[in-house]
Structure 1
Amino acid sequence: MLYVPKLRLSFKMFASLRIAFVLLSVFLTTVISASAYAQPLLFKAERGDQTFYIYGTVHVGPNNQITVTKQIEDVLGVSDTLILEAKMDQSVQFPTTSRFQVAQVLEKNELKQLETIASEIRIDFGTLQSLPPWHAALILQQTTFTQLNYYSEFGSEHQLSDWAKGNGITIDGLETLQFQIDLLSQQDEGGKEMLKQTLLEWPHNAHNIQCLLASWQAGDIKNLSAMLEHDSDSSDFLKRLLIDRNDAWVAKLTNSTKYQKGTYFVAVGALHLVGPNSVIGLLRSNGYSVTQLSRSEEAKCIMKTHV
């Protein structure tokens, strides 16, 4: 039977391992090469009566992943609100039809590769061919993470949300889950390039996941930034996926009457915190004093590509 991914996790399973896996980075404890003292990115941004603690998240993980460390407890505990990309208890309308199907958008050699992959991971090839390309790409990546025993319930958002609820802290979202699903489903040609990139990067799947995870755990800003720069000319989708959302989030944080006074813990995907158009960079340009609270180290790995 074809496995259809959970909605919350599926949004994070984007096409390019070099771009999108950053948004769904997973914590792999057995391959992390950085020092035990290195930490995922955590910043403090202050302006006037506003204080934001900004944390780079991973959206899935193994059952032994620990997000709420003593440091996180300390800063989340003094925050008025936990602000996530999107609240996790929202309902969404998952698209049921599409003008484009996998069989229509892939070349013969790509379909052959997809058939081989489907056989390897035990997914029905015929069903994959009938899906929109973006949905097929999600299923391929979801299956890989399931095989590695990584699940959304062990990701940062779930752990932070559980802690906040248990300690009476309000939870808010910068956008909706429906917006996230629509962002995927409304790609050009049904997400053709997303699926093609997934197939292109497939041979380096395991290595790239490990490198991304190591970079997240180490808080390796240089490595994470390099991953973004490598794909800076990928497509308009990258702009809509990262840059436009960063702009919208910072506008909401800086202008919303809800956040004009107080202390807030903001938790978003780690790659939203690096690069010239990052949440951190935008806050600085808006007059916030920003300090990194976490300790970063080199992850000692590089991404492999098809080139």
Structure 2
Amino acid sequence: MLVVSQFTWSAFKPQKSILTFSTLLISLLSFVASAEPLLYKAQKGSQTLYLFGTVHVGSRSQQAINQPVEMAIKQSDALILEAELGGNINFPSLVEHSVRDVLTNNELAQLNEIASETQLNIDMLKSLPSWQAALALQQHVFTALDFHAEFGVEHQLSNWAQTHALPVKGLESLQFQIDLLANQPQGGKQMLLQTIEEWPYTENNILCLIKSWSHGDVANLEAMLHIDSDNDDFYQRFLIDRNKSWVRSLVTSSEYQKGTYFIAVGALHLVGQESVVALLKQQGFIIEQISHSKSAHCSMKTHV
């Protein structure tokens, strides 16, 4: 499932000139009050880290800041996001590995069917690098479901921080995230092919991801993680390498050595054997889950 659920982005609107990017994938609806998105407390010496799992778009009715989250963030010296929202982003000036150059005729025919169904401009899609085309398709589904980045968890947390004069920091830059996407092999061909292959199930999978996030369903989130691991390069570069980089920064940077910090990252970064939670535990942090998890009673679909 290559919705980039572990990334940060906002309304992604591919144009021939430039794209507006701020935070990548999904945070959403409170389905039941008794189930909560994942929230952990990691403690070692004079350092306390609250780890909150997010998805990066949401609905108008979404309320991500529940009582446990507010209690944790009120105790914190700073809010730390995957990347600070806003700021300038430079996109590659030249399109390398455009869709029309990397897909076979059969694959292009499949994309053409999707473009007809969504009323997206097929010539525009074929002119883009594959990673941008994949995100354009995913963004179409988010919009159709009325999910938007401006209602996502990161924006809610940032607004809370601004109102309460809490500093906001980023673990990486938005430019880093764009470069990571742009530098995939063959311009992200595999990312686009997986999006095309799973297209019939995209709506089901997005809704299941959101529901699993809102319930803190660790088993379901880990299952989604294993689906992403089918693309070894994507899994390593977008999840594992970033987890390790973040933990290294949190553990070694003088900026975070003392105090309490509220860290909000995509929920898939908090599950699995090489998650941020697992890596901090390896560094000697005592881990406590504060949130209450429940089964989401849904499943991902990837094959006929």
Q: Is the 8 A contact 1:46 1:288 kept in 2?
A: yes
Q: CA deviation at 1:231?
A: 3.6
SS at match of 2:269: helix
Q: Is the 8 A contact 2:26 2:149 kept in 1?
A: no
Q: CA deviation at 1:99?
A: 2.2
Equivalence for 1:7: 21
Match of 1:149 among 122, 146, 149: 146
| Percent of aligned pairs sharing the same letter | 51
Equivalence for 2:132: 135
Equivalence for 1:203: 200
TM-score if structure 1 supplies the norm length? Answer: 0.91
Structure 1 gap segments, 5+ residues each:
13-23
SS at match of 1:7: coil
Equivalence for 2:28: 27
Q: Is the 8 A contact 1:82 1:264 kept in 2?
A: yes
2:303 equivalent to 1:306: yes
Equivalence for 2:39: 42
Q: CA deviation at 1:114?
A: 1.0
- CA RMSD in angstroms comes to 1.5
Q: CA deviation at 1:3?
A: 4.1
**Superposed CA offset, 1:241-299 (max 9, x none):** 00000000000001110111101000000000000000000000000000000000111
SS at match of 1:117: helix
2:263 equivalent to 1:266: yes
Moved over 6 A (4+): none
Q: Is the 8 A contact 1:28 1:210 kept in 2?
A: no
For 1:122 and 1:267, how far apart are their aligned partners in 2? 35
Equivalence for 2:110: 113
Structure 2 gap segments, 5+ residues each:
1-11
For 1:68 and 1:96, how far apart are their aligned partners in 2? 39
Amino acid of the residue matched to residue 103 of structure 1? R
- Change in 2 beyond 3 A, CA 1:232/1:186: same
Equivalence for 1:94: 91
**Superposed CA offset, 1:60-81 (max 9, x none):** 0011111112222211011000
Equivalence for 1:15: none
Q: CA deviation at 1:211?
A: 1.1
2:177 equivalent to 1:193: no
Q: Is the 8 A contact 1:63 1:154 kept in 2?
A: yes
Equivalence for 1:21: none
